[in-house]
Structure 1
Amino acid sequence: MRRTWPAVLAIMMTAAAVTSCTSRTTAADTPSRPSLRWGECPGPAEAALECARLAVPLDYRHPHGRTIDVEVSRLPSGKPAEKRGVLLLNPGGPGLPGLRVPVLMKLPEKVRDRYDVIGFDPRGVGHSTPVSCGFTRAQGETAANPPTPGSAADVSRQAASAKSLAAQCTTAGTANLLPHITTANTARDMDRIRTALGVPRISYYGESYGTYLGAVYTTLFPGRGDRIVLDSSLPPEGYDVEALRGQGAGFETRFPDFARFAAASERRYHLGGTPAAVREKYFRLAARLDDKPVRGYDGTTFRVVTAAMIRADSDLAGLAAVWHALDTNQPPPGSAAPGGGAYSDNYPAAYLGVICGDSRWPTDLATYRHNVSVDRVRHPMYGAFTANIRPCAFWPAPAEPKVRITDCGPSDVLMVHNLRDPATPLSGALRTRRALGERARMVTIDQGGHVAYLSGANACGNDAVNDFLVTGKRPSHDTYCPAAHPVR
């Protein structure tokens, strides 16, 4: 595998189609410089983190019209004399806040010293002007994670629910914001942040959905990026129906890591003495919970929790404990149990705003029935769940064409990706790599889980990102990092 991997990459990285590089002038190209007044951050205090509010156009086609607010944070460099510039961070989602990411991410000191690290809540999210659909907790969970369909009739029932949720969103009090809560507009907001900071270029680190945001930014503003890191990349079309269906393949690729872990700990968790037995336990538990929920867990919740917790090696023991509890009709460990606490529907509302507003989704019910039947066979562990119909099928058409990711611009992008990523499978990342052409270099790491940088024990991948952010040095060609150690 290690000997043949470069050859595999060479085959998959055939030359990108030649495209004409034209100017990407947008309404964000304004001569005025907005100002930032730094002060305390909203919410829980974070030492050394300061925040400011930036007014941005709601609709960049009308840059002098209505504005909304984007909340921005800054963690200043510890060594201003060594500072290179600013490093903007995005934690993915879509719909996740990013204001505290500069502190929570715990970047290495040598990276921190080189930049003022900038976080922000994307438009529609958190302390920026937020969107809401008025969802209850149950509605929000269904909107983001529709139930696993067992038949064509289940798809039809979910269609009625999806249509109702879409109508609720698009008639809510913030409905007039939704057409503008898109990746392209968030990228334009990033350039307004750059302008407000008074710098000619920004460096950027984005993970998961944040890779698509970064790719859109560097496509719209190719001369304004400095060092761009895309960690765990989506396909070049972003979070559309095919990207979600692709998670079925990612789940199948990653699950054997958990199965080996659980089998090795059979005396503790009693989930099966072999990986094959653990896989069979998955099907039995999912089927039983589909029929009769246990402690608030139905089959869909079980699948969602499993998919979330196999994203990190550090969560595998916790996931095994959840399975064991469900298998023995005990309360699952509190951190993995669904529900509880105060509820805000801001995440599912913003999530839908982006994924439905970025792409045209199939509207024909027969398409979803077909996708479910195909994916149930193709990816039996998870595929039918991701193929089910969502509110996006009943969403208004996108307000503008999708940004096409191309190879136009300087060679300033580093991609890092785990070999067994359950959420953003490697196949989609390779397509983004092809779209970026000579603009990018890619480091593929033989480890499992979602998000490569600072998330595993593989020094090879971490060093590649650190070297690029600190010195600007990238590999001269796409490279492969062998496994550091097996999952234990």
Structure 2
Amino acid sequence: MKQPTKSLLRIAVASGIVFGALAPLTASAAPAAPALKWGKCAGGGVDPRQQCAVLDVPMDYADPGGPSIGIAVSRIVSEKPAARRGALFLIPGGPGGSSLDDPSGKGRKLPQEVRDAYDLIGFAPRGLAPSTSVDCGLERRDLSLTASRPWPAADGSVDANMATARRMAEACERNGGELLRHLSTRNEARDLDRLRAALGERRISAWGVSYGTYVGAVYAEMFPGRTDRFVLDSNDDPDPTRVARAWLAGHEQGVEDTFPEFAEWAAAPGNPYRVAATAAEVRPRFLALAARLDREPLPWPGANPAELNGNMLRQAMLSSLYDPDDFPALAQLMLAAEKGTVPPAPASPPDAVLQNVSAVGAGTLCNDVAWPTSTAVYRKGVEESRAKFPLTAGMPRNAMVCAAWPYPPEEPPTVITDRGPSTVLLVQNERDVATPVGGALKLREALGRRAVMVTVNSTGHDAYLDNGNACGDAAVTRFLATGKRPAADLYCR
């Protein structure tokens, strides 16, 4: 069953806030790590079997004897010790996502044979509370997703976006502290290897979703001999020259792949939220409404910003296309706005949560690779994007906070290669607004003989046990439970 708050949270975000050696690993090859002290998890709502602990890791891996930070971790142990194979790391998306409660949440959805085979391991990545946390002290207007994932002005100008990037970057430099400089995907991978050692595991298995697929791929590149069964679900483009810029740019095609599914749904007879008589009418109707709201925004009390303008509608569209279950939210918003009204603004997470998530997202994305700093680069990209992909109006090639980031990357981005054991299974929906299939195919190509890919004829972000289909789910479950992958890349109709 889908989480009942998923649609609410996505629209809230739209309105309220973003190698080692290949030789067999020996016990002496792993760094010494203190045993974890497991205890009761703070708060409520988790499986009573879930335990929590804190892992101490270096803040700066170039200075391992320097200050340390805490990584909050969780586990539910194998339900059948005699069948236990090892630990399955649940690697969250984001950056800014947590899997700390996932052993109790998505872990319950795993088939019994998988829950028997593994201890399920969750964690809050470095910088994200309740791990040692970061905060940029952003102005409230910059907690909106239309600021952190900025949309150009109605005329295509990016000048205001560049000013916002500078304002946010200056706040992060002023308030973020030393830890902000050491947020990166490579450091998250190092943290996971420290966790592996602390658990006493020679190798780990993993289920990484969305940004977690990049974390998993980087881990497999840095520590290939320590990978057991790796499932990468809803996959990021691993282009080392662009990293997150490629992920952002992917939304252009992701929306084009997915919007027709919304249009078909929104024109279906009997749909109480029917937007148009035919699917062909939905796209021009959306574009016309967005253009009208560019000219004449509607007040939207409780939203951030407190108006429904064209970009807020576009962001709501993007957020709703993550999951077909969220299509009604977009249709209702369109129908209301066409009448000159708006539904109540969705509840937003607390500002403190948004501050923390925004800082982790910005720090990780901006520290992974240097972004262009020239306004002209973004102006040109936005102009080209708006001409080819009007639904996304240039946002995927726009300047975000990284365009003014004050810190250079600590190290070059990871180049994903085919060097290492063949231990990876990619699963990918064919229509995914956030991580389109084109980017997944680039990760598949980079991994080469190390991977097999299952492409699923389905719509939505997150495939396994969520928006995929029975064929894809069965292939992933079989791999996790038995180690058997399809003999070649598989298409699941």
Give TM-score, length-normalised by structure 2: 0.88
Secondary structure at the aligned position of 1:453 is classed as helix
Letter in 1 for 2:214: Y
Question: Any stretches of 5+ residues in structure 2 without a counterpart?
Answer: 1-18, 301-306
Q: Is 1:167 equivalent to 2:177 in the alignment?
A: no
Q: Report the number of matched residues.
A: 456
Query: Which of the residues 388, 412, 416 maps onto 2:427?
Result: 416
Query: Which of the residues 328, 343, 349 maps onto 2:359?
Result: 349
CA distance in 2, matches of 1:45, 1:338: 20
Letter in 2 for 1:178: L
Query: Which of the residues 253, 270, 293 maps onto 2:257?
Result: 253
Q: 1:397 to 1:266 in 2, by over 3 A?
A: farther
TM-superposition CA deviations, 1:276-317 (whole Å, max 9, x none)? 211112112211222233323222222122111111122222
Q: 1:316 to 1:29 in 2, by over 3 A?
A: farther
Secondary structure at the aligned position of 2:428 is classed as strand
Deviates most, 230-239 or 207-216: 230-239
What does 1:118-267 align with in structure 2 at a 5 Å threshold? 118-141=121-144, 142-151=146-155, 154-172=157-175, 174-237=176-239, 239-265=243-269
RMSD, aligned CA: 2.0
Deviates most, 183-192 or 324-333: 324-333
Secondary structure at the aligned position of 2:465 is classed as coil
Secondary structure at the aligned position of 1:455 is classed as helix
Deviates most, 267-276 or 52-61: 267-276
Q: Is 1:306 equivalent to 2:317 in the alignment?
A: yes
TM-superposition CA deviations, 1:52-74 (whole Å, max 9, x none)? 00100111111111100100000
CA distance in 1, matches of 2:462, 2:311: 24
Q: Is the 8 A contact 1:419 1:446 kept in 2?
A: yes
Letter in 2 for 1:49: Q
What does 1:47-58 align with in structure 2 at a 5 Å threshold? 47=47, 48-58=49-59
Secondary structure at the aligned position of 1:362 is classed as coil
- Counterpart position of 1:381: 391
- Counterpart position of 1:36: 36
CA distance in 2, matches of 1:122, 1:457: 26
- Counterpart position of 1:450: 461
Q: Is the 8 A contact 1:266 1:272 kept in 2?
A: no
Q: 1:151 to 1:320 in 2, by over 3 A?
A: closer
Q: Is 1:436 equivalent to 2:431 in the alignment?
A: no
Q: What is the CA distance between 1:387 and its match in structure 2?
A: 1.8
Q: 1:400 to 1:24 in 2, by over 3 A?
A: farther
Letter in 2 for 1:164: R
What does 1:323-334 align with in structure 2 at a 5 Å threshold? 323-332=334-343
Q: What is the CA distance between 1:145 and its match in structure 2?
A: 2.0
Question: Any stretches of 5+ residues in structure 1 without a counterpart?
Answer: 1-20, 483-488
Q: What is the CA distance between 1:167 and its match in structure 2?
A: 0.8
CA distance in 2, matches of 1:250, 1:116: 34
Letter in 1 for 2:212: G
CA distance in 2, matches of 1:330, 1:52: 48
Q: 1:371 to 1:219 in 2, by over 3 A?
A: same
Q: Is 1:475 equivalent to 2:486 in the alignment?
A: yes
CA distance in 2, matches of 1:155, 1:74: 45
Q: What is the CA distance between 1:327 and its match in structure 2?
A: 2.4
Query: Which of the residues 257, 269, 275 maps onto 1:271?
Result: 275
- Counterpart position of 2:289: 285
- Counterpart position of 1:485: none
- Counterpart position of 1:46: 46
Q: Is the 8 A contact 2:31 2:197 kept in 1?
A: no
TM-superposition CA deviations, 1:388-427 (whole Å, max 9, x none)? 2111011121111111111111000000001111111111
Letter in 2 for 1:259: A
Q: What is the CA distance between 1:472 and its match in structure 2?
A: 0.5
CA distance in 1, matches of 2:245, 2:259: 22
CA distance in 1, matches of 2:479, 2:344: 40
Query: Which of the residues 89, 110, 113 maps onto 1:110?
Result: 113
Q: What is the CA distance between 1:263 and its match in structure 2?
A: 0.5
- Counterpart position of 2:5: none
Letter in 2 for 1:36: L
Q: Is the 8 A contact 1:148 1:299 kept in 2?
A: no
Letter in 1 for 2:210: S
Q: 1:270 to 1:313 in 2, by over 3 A?
A: closer
Q: 1:59 to 1:29 in 2, by over 3 A?
A: farther
Q: 1:58 to 1:343 in 2, by over 3 A?
A: closer
Give TM-score, length-normalised by structure 1: 0.89
Q: Is the 8 A contact 2:21 2:224 kept in 1?
A: no
Letter in 1 for 2:272: R
Secondary structure at the aligned position of 1:102 is classed as coil
Letter in 2 for 1:97: S
- Counterpart position of 2:74: 73
Q: 1:293 to 1:43 in 2, by over 3 A?
A: farther
